[in-house]
């Protein structure tokens, strides 16, 4: 009996010793983790964090000690939205103060393959220089610039933006979104559209990004309710803040603000439907015709897009096919073909921007069969706020 009791005591002490040994090992492991993650920044293994810190230091040096910070833009989101933000908001630098009270004006631009294209770089320089020149925002307002980009273009864009924004008088944020992440989410939503409105005969995976505006309400976080999408080949002649005031003029049910197409593009695209329906206004010039839209400048009410049962039904494969068959349409201009087509049936979904907000300069169709009617489309009366140098058209010097 005494031997059995002694054996139990020994086993208990061994067990206690092992528990203490395990606790010591666990404490040592936690100390190592704490050293690397919460210690000196020189020991941080995260390449993303390192790039952000280097960028922050660079921007601080170039901004005369302006208030700049860097983060991954997840602090005000939760659940799945937080995971989505961590994936898409890869880089950020800010000239801002109080995120909880500032009113944000969100702008998005496609910024892919810019590193390999000198022409796009020159266009971007004109666009950003002119935007910054005229931009004015009130106290407590922030201009948020979103760029959908590949990694090489992102690196170039960061450098170029330091130059453009150095003397900005307003608060701003810059965020780069990964084009591959966006494309992966877009493809299943817009695959049916690609078959009707892409240049290729098949629905290529990479083409999905050209339909970003169509399904952006499914891609961006729900706390982002309005955004303006802009082409790179623009030149601004007024305060970009004024463009956002156009949201206030949206009629009930409208989800998108967009200017008309200023060439007879859709007179041509809908030629078969026009032949079969000689009394139609489809493809006719303004003011009484339906000339279609140009997607160089778009105001997207994301909250309205999410709430509109009609708009989301029109994204369904069967409805896309039905309308494409009805109008005998085979487009190649991506989102603007889709918006033009559904506007023929449902104009209430759209708010028509004045042509001065997207003064297109391309004259290609004038010399390709439509000289006799070209000026009816191309004319734009009233003030010009934004020049659009589409199809590589030169932009006036002012």
Q: Per-residue pLDDT tens for 318-359?
A: 999 999 999 998 888 889 999 999 999 999 999 999 999 999
Q: Would the pLDDT of 283 be above 80?
A: yes
Query: For the residues 116-137, what does the mean pLDDT come to?
Result: 97
pLDDT of residue 365: 96
Tens of pLDDT, residues 186-243: 999 998 888 888 766 444 566 889 899 999 999 999 999 999 999 999 999 999 999 9
Annotated domain spans of the chain: 21-53, 63-392
What distance in Å separates the CA atoms of residue 163 and residue 92, rounded to the nearest whole number? 16
| Least confident among 50-54, 147-151, 261-265, 382-386 | 50-54
Query: For the residues 137-154, what does the mean pLDDT come to?
Result: 97
pLDDT of residue 206: 65
Query: For the residues 75-93, what does the mean pLDDT come to?
Result: 44
pLDDT of residue 200: 60
Percentage of the chain with pLDDT > 90? 67
pLDDT of residue 393: 97
Q: Would the pLDDT of 57 be above 60?
A: no
In order of 20, 191, 329, the CA distances from 208 in angstroms are: 58, 7, 19
CATH homologous superfamily for 63-392?
Answer: Spore Coat Polysaccharide Biosynthesis Protein SpsA; Chain A (3.90.550.10)
pLDDT of residue 357: 98
pLDDT of residue 10: 44
Q: Where is pLDDT greater, at 119 or 87?
A: 119
pLDDT of residue 93: 58
Give the angle 109-116-179 at the CA atoms, nearest 5°.
Answer: 40
Q: Would the pLDDT of 61 be above 50?
A: no
pLDDT of residue 108: 98
Q: Would the pLDDT of 94 be above 70?
A: no
Q: Would the pLDDT of 271 be above 60?
A: yes
Q: Where is pLDDT greater, at 15 or 303?
A: 303
In sequence order, the 6+-apart residues with CB closer than 8 A to the CB of 30 are none
pLDDT of residue 46: 31
Q: Would the pLDDT of 127 be above 70?
A: yes
Query: For the residues 273-288, what does the mean pLDDT come to?
Result: 97
pLDDT of residue 329: 87
| CB count in 10 Å sphere of residue 338 | 27
Tens of pLDDT, residues 1-47: 544 444 444 454 545 445 545 554 555 554 443 433 343 333 332 33
Q: Would the pLDDT of 48 be above 90?
A: no
């Amino acid at each position: 009996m005494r031997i059995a009791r002694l054996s139990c005591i020994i086993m208990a002490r061994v067990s206690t010793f092992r528990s203490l040994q395990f606790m010591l090992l666990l404490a040592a492991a936690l100390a190592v983790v704490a050293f690397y993650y919460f210690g000196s920044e020189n020991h941080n293994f995260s390449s993303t964090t390192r790039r952000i810190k280097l960028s922050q230091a660079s921007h601080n040096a170039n901004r005369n000690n302006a208030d700049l910070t860097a983060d991954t833009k997840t602090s005000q989101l939760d659940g799945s939205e937080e995971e989505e933000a961590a994936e898409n908001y890869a880089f950020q630098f800010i000239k801002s103060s109080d995120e909880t009270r500032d009113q944000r004006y969100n702008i998005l631009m496609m910024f892919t393959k810019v590193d390999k294209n000198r022409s796009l770089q020159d266009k971007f320089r004109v666009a950003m220089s002119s935007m910054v020149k005229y931009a004015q925002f009130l106290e407590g307002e922030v201009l948020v610039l979103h760029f959908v980009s590949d990694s090489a273009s992102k690196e170039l864009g960061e450098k170029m933006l330091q130059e453009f924004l150095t003397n900005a008088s307003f608060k701003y944020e810059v965020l780069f979104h990964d084009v591959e992440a966006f494309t992966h989410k877009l493809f299943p939503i817009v695959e049916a559209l690609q078959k009707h409105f892409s240049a290729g005969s098949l629905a290529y995976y990479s083409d999905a990004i050209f339909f970003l505006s169509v399904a952006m309400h499914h891609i961006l976080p729900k706390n982002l309710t309005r955004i303006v999408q802009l082409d790179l080949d623009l030149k601004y002649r007024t305060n970009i803040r004024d463009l956002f005031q156009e949201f206030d003029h949206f009629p009930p049910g409208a989800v998108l603000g967009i200017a008309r197409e200023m060439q007879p593009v859709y007179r041509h695209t809908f030629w078969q439907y026009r032949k079969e329906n000689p009394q139609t206004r489809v493809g006719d010039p303004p003011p009484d015709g339906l000339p279609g839209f140009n997607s160089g400048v778009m105001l997207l009410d994301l909250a309205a897009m999410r709430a509109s049962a009609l708009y989301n039904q029109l994204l369904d494969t069967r409805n896309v096919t039905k309308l494409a068959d009805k109008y005998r349409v085979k487009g190649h201009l991506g989102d603007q073909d889709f918006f033009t087509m559904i506007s023929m049936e449902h104009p209430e979904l759209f708010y028509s921007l004045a042509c001065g907000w997207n003064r297109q300069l391309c004259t290609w169709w004038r010399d390709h069969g439509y000289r006799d009617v070209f000026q009816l489309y191309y004319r734009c009366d009233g003030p010009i706020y934004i020049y659009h140098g589409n199809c590589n058209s030169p932009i006036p010097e002012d």
